[in-house]
Structure 1
């Protein structure tokens, strides 16, 4: 379903990114496998992972080239798109998957911890998408797939930086979908549940957390990869501006913020009126302070 297409997948040296690169190649795409080879906290760099995935694709009869640029560097993002154009003559899709984690409780989080996560997840996705956008516009087609997270959509503890970046990605994806729809360009998000290096960093210090991790280990990246490959294909040409979630064999469409209830007072509201009337009337529709595991509380099927 991706025959003749050229796709860039960031953070594709392992985990979900690797699975997406392999799935895209299996569907006929030529793939730029991007991975800087950094540790989970963003430190270091090893060119090996990207080249290993390229070798897997080529051994299976596909076409791929490696790129080790950093998504957080605008020039590096331009180099990724240039790699696709140089090797395959075109660019048809971008999967923004690269990420780092610097978890910590908000009252202890440093500016550097916050900044680094946003630089990779949010700025990185902007950089690569922006580098591809003029080419998509000129050819009248293209697809963006951005990896968001239920940590942003629902919430999670000790991840203010990660949650902020992942929620911001949703807004950016919707704006791209609106701005570029007239050029035949699509933009969608996936919130993935899958065992990966990033998920493996979850702190496990209780039976409840061990049980949660055990469930996550059942959710393999290839389940997410199939959805990403579909969104890159022409079969998804009428799908844009949406938020999907893949959890093992389940695919969810997420809601997007819309008004749920209102109160009106013809003479306007004083502070006291809000306290006495507005909030009591709205309170039954308040959202609880859930985390992702509260909402997705059942076993994966």
Structure 2
């Protein structure tokens, strides 16, 4: 099969001044894309800001003959997001791909976490995904083409001590994706999620050096590139790290119809083995399938 190429396509990568985002931006450029390198240039906890990091990545891209421009907007700032999109449209006249990668950490146990810590992380990760997607949505629909990659995490899918704020935001992104994947289908706008395990500024203090060496960001990027391609699925959650790729899904068991007569909490308790039986479980593509299952069980009962 032919190589995946992005000649003539325009890509926006948020949080692309370093780590995963930088690798994504470089690889898209190597494959022919014109790239908007967005990075606020703040510290890991979201404070400060400078467009210097984004400009350095632009210079790297230009050094091997690629096309790129830098943008220092915050993904939480409406005017900044609008400027980022305007820069892309004014420069190249279209936007084909958005990789929503920007993020921060404020890890603490829930007992020690302030509401400010929670809201800030939720705002950067969740609304910092929603706002850029909203800004490019009508452009992609009008083109009848778009590829959006959002960034989730195992902390959201499965949980991680000290990351209730981060986990809530990262699973919220999946809920967002699961609806707009349906709304974008008729206009060939696909949205998928990457769940990376990588050695970045956000993880360097969490793992030993030997492990970090195996978790280079460039081992995640091939998954992102595929999810941005014309052949990409929609609504997929791709876990990626150290060259390992897997599909994450939310499954629902077939369940049991207990009936209405005499229904009680005790009956739910006593039927728990049947309710939780994994035989026949399914991963649904849309919420209506759950309702369909319930009505099927009702008719069978």
State the TM-score, normalizing by the size of structure 1. 0.87
* Counterpart-to-counterpart distance in 1, 2:105 and 2:138: 30
Tell me the residue number matched to 1:219: 215
Are the structure 2 counterparts of residues 47 and 215 from structure 1 closer, same or farther at C-alpha, using a change threshold of 3 Å?
same
Question: Which one of the candidate residues 26, 29, 32 is aligned to 1:25?
Answer: 29
Runs of at least 5 residues in structure 1 that lack an aligned partner in the other structure: 203-208, 286-301
Question: Which one of the candidate residues 235, 245, 254 is aligned to 2:239?
Answer: 245
* Counterpart-to-counterpart distance in 2, 1:25 and 1:65: 11
* Counterpart-to-counterpart distance in 2, 1:278 and 1:71: 47
Question: Which one of the candidate residues 228, 235, 241 is aligned to 2:231?
Answer: 235
* Counterpart-to-counterpart distance in 2, 1:107 and 1:281: 36
Tell me the residue number matched to 1:186: 190
8 Å CA contact 2:156, 2:168 repeated in 1 = yes
What does the per-residue CA deviation read over 1:168-199, in whole Å, with 9 as the maximum and x for residues that have no partner? 11111121110111111000001011100011
Question: Which one of the candidate residues 158, 172, 178 is aligned to 1:174?
Answer: 178
Give yes or no for the alignment of 1:279 onto 2:283. Answer: no
Give secondary structure in 2 for the equivalent of 1:33: strand
Give secondary structure in 1 for the equivalent of 2:252: coil
Q: Which has the higher contact order (CA 8 A, sep 6+)?
A: 1
Question: Which one of the candidate residues 99, 106, 109 is aligned to 1:102?
Answer: 106
8 Å CA contact 1:41, 1:100 repeated in 2 = yes
CA positional deviation for 1:113: 0.4
Aligned residues: 274
CA positional deviation for 1:263: 5.2
Question: Which one of the candidate residues 65, 69, 77 is aligned to 1:73?
Answer: 77
* Counterpart-to-counterpart distance in 2, 1:155 and 1:247: 18
* Counterpart-to-counterpart distance in 2, 1:115 and 1:122: 10
Give secondary structure in 2 for the equivalent of 1:145: strand
Give secondary structure in 2 for the equivalent of 1:108: coil
CA positional deviation for 1:75: 1.8
* Counterpart-to-counterpart distance in 2, 1:258 and 1:80: 40
8 Å CA contact 2:96, 2:147 repeated in 1 = yes
8 Å CA contact 2:220, 2:243 repeated in 1 = no
8 Å CA contact 1:71, 1:125 repeated in 2 = yes
Tell me the residue number matched to 1:135: 139
CA positional deviation for 1:56: 0.1
Question: Which one of the candidate residues 242, 266, 270 is aligned to 2:264?
Answer: 270
Note the aligned Cα RMSD (angstroms): 1.7
Are the structure 2 counterparts of residues 233 and 102 from structure 1 closer, same or farther at C-alpha, using a change threshold of 3 Å?
same
Give secondary structure in 2 for the equivalent of 1:186: strand
* Counterpart-to-counterpart distance in 1, 2:31 and 2:236: 23
CA positional deviation for 1:162: 0.4
Are the structure 2 counterparts of residues 260 and 104 from structure 1 closer, same or farther at C-alpha, using a change threshold of 3 Å?
farther
